[in-house]
């Protein structure tokens, strides 16, 4: 039948044109069909309904990362499929700090408020693929959203009267999801602090205490230190004296971690017969055997989010921030910053960042007061913990149950940047100064060289509120 149609078309006066037209349409259809079922790749860009936000564009070609099926018993809908994806990646980060968690609105008396703004659905405020209506933090609704539920604040807080409806969620004031750096008791506790604290140091790490991972015998890590003569690389492997020297001088050798500890892995096929194979490259999962918190948080951040989604590693040429051209194709994994066998944390803290980052803020760091303090610390002119590297602010040292560890999600305290006040800035600065500086675009651009052009009023307002409350307190008998 097909032959008959083709021969009929050939014999018609416009037959060739018809065949060409059909062929083009078939080719277009095939292209789009292939794009629909293809794994994440540039071919899928044909199906992108619009540009994604800066938070998601790295994984935008993996449609399934957000549009995978819901586990809901009632079956997936276009909205709850997305909700699943949001919670999968951001649920843990919001745990315990979210000021507006979904559970808060389960109280049936909130039905009226939910009818105004469905605060139980992430997509009510954060739609994707709509760049023309996307504001900072991926907000895709008018910025006066706070007012619709909190109109009474003007009456209950005279200090807030006259403020613009769209000014609630601005730097130094309120943050819809995490108000922990801005809630009134915290603000008042830090009232009157000087801009520069007398003792200005970052928390001191305890590497061994902060290690975790299923391969790590937690409290019983007592392997003796080993040296060059103990290196157990196979004879068939060509040794590199510099790499061996680097390894022997670093914490891994001191903690008894031999070459085989990282380079010998059991492949899935070999697991049954206990055989193992040597690999020159070391997978991130291997690092995670002892450094799992660091690996997990790396995967949460922009550097590792592609790996977390099962995609190829991120490369700087995929970034929207300006990057160095010669670093365009570097792949981001643990070794990208902790390179070779030195795993040098000082190098990783600033120099590694500047291998790729080429924006004003990054470039200004070296000459900034922060950068000078960092240089002094590296050169042993300044005390340990007094320098401010890129990592000091963007990969802060946090106190956890197992001691102080480094959060490798470099984006965790930038959503929004007021969060940095609590986790980072307050190690060295007063809160009012910190909030003021974090709200100053020019200071951010120049690496915090200079003073904030405006001072934030939140700390003073909270302090006044507590003073007024104290006046109302009845004298105790």
Binding footprint of another protein on the chain (CB under 8 A): 101-104, 106-109, 111-112, 114-115, 152, 156, 185-186, 189, 469-474, 476
CB of 470 to another protein, least distance (A): 6
Coil, strand, or helix at residue 310?
coil
Nearest distance, CB of residue 461 and another protein, angstroms: 16
Please check whether residue 297 is in contact with residue 409, taking contact to mean a CB–CB distance below 8 angstroms: yes
Give 459's Cβ-side CA count (13 Å radius).
20
Least distance in Å: CB of 72 to another protein? Answer: 11
Rounded CA-CA distance 271/296 in Å is: 25
Please give the Cα distance from 188 to 342 (Å, whole number). Answer: 45
Q: Rank residues 42 and 156 by Cβ distance to another protein and give the closer one.
A: 156
Give the 3-state secondary structure of residue 128.
Answer: coil
Query: What length is written for the chain?
Result: 477
Q: Which is nearer to another protein, 186 or 191 (CB)?
A: 186
- For another protein, which is the closer residue by CB, 189 or 230? 189
Closer residue to another protein (CB): 57 or 105: 105
Phi, psi values for residue 276, rounded to 5°: -140, 160
The secondary structure of residue 350, as a DSSP letter, is I
What's the min distance (Å) between Cβ of 50 and another protein?
A: 33
Nearer to another protein, 104 or 325 (CB): 104
Reading the block at residue 2, the tokens are 């097909």
Q: Which is nearer to another protein, 152 or 235 (CB)?
A: 152
Considering the complex, what minimum distance in angstroms separates the CB of residue 35 from another protein?
38
Helices (H) and strands (E) in the chain, counts: 24, 4
The token duo for 286 is 């291997």
Cα–Cα distance for residue pair 174/168, rounded to 1 Å: 6
**To the nearest whole angstrom, how small is the minimum distance from the Cβ of residue 425 to another protein?**
17
Got the DSSP string for 395-433? S-EEEETTEEEE---TTGGGTTTTHHHHHTGGGTB-HHH
Report the C-alpha gap between 300 and 232 in whole angstroms.
34
Shortest distance (Å) from residue 104 CB to another protein: 7
- Between residues 380 and 474, which has the closer beta carbon with respect to another protein? 474
CA distance 243 to 326: 24
């Amino acid at each position: 039948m097909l032959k008959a149609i083709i021969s009929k078309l050939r014999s018609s006066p416009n037959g060739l044109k018809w065949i060409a037209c059909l062929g083009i349409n078939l080719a277009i259809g095939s292209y789009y069909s292939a794009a629909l079922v293809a794994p994440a790749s540039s071919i899928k860009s044909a199906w992108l309904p619009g540009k994604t936000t800066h938070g998601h564009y790295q994984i935008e070609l993996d449609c399934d990362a957000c549009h995978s099926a819901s586990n809901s018993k009632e079956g997936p809908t276009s909205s709850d499929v997305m909700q699943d994806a949001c919670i999968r990646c951001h649920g843990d980060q919001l745990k315990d700090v979210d000021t507006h968690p979904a559970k808060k609105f389960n109280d049936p008396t909130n039905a009226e408020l939910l009818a105004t703004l469905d605060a139980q659905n992430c997509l009510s405020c954060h739609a994707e693929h709509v760049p023309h209506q996307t504001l900072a933090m991926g907000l895709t609704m008018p910025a006066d959203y706070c007012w619709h539920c909190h109109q009474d604040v003007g009456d209950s807080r005279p200090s807030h009267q006259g403020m613009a409806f769209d000014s609630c969620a601005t730097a130094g004031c309120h943050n819809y999801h995490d108000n922990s750096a801005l809630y009134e008791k915290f603000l008042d506790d830090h009232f009157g602090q000087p801009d520069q604290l007398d003792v200005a140091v970052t928390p001191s790490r305890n590497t061994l205490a902060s290690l975790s991972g299923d391969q790590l015998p937690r409290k019983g890590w007592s392997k003796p230190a080993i040296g060059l003569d103990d290196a157990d690389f196979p004879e068939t492997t060509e040794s590199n004296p510099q790499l061996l020297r680097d390894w022997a001088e670093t914490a891994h050798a001191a903690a008894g971690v031999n070459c085989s500890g990282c380079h010998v892995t059991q492949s899935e096929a070999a697991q049954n017969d206990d055989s193992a194979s040597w690999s020159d490259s070391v997978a991130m999962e291997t690092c995670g055997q002892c450094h799992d918190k660091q690996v997990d948080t790396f995967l949460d951040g922009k550097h590792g989010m592609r790996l977390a989604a099962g995609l190829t590693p991120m490369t700087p040429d995929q970034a929207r921030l300006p990057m160095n051209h010669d670093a365009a194709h570097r792949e981001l994994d643990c070794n990208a910053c902790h390179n070779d066998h030195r795993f040098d944390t000082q190098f990783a803290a600033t120099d590694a960042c500047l291998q790729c980052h080429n924006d004003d803020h990054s470039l200004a760091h070296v000459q900034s007061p922060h950068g000078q303090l960092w240089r002094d610390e590296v050169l042993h002119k300044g005390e340990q913990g007094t320098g401010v590297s890129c990592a000091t602010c963007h990969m802060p040292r946090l106190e956890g149950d197992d001691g102080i560890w480094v959060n490798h999600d470099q984006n965790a305290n930038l959503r929004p940047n007021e969060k940095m006040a609590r986790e980072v800035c307050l190690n060295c600065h007063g809160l009012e100064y910190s909030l003021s500086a974090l709200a100053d675009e020019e200071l951010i651009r120049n690496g915090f060289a200079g003073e904030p052009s405006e001072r934030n009023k939140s700390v003073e307002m909270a302090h006044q509120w507590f003073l007024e409350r104290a006046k109302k307190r009845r004298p105790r008998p």
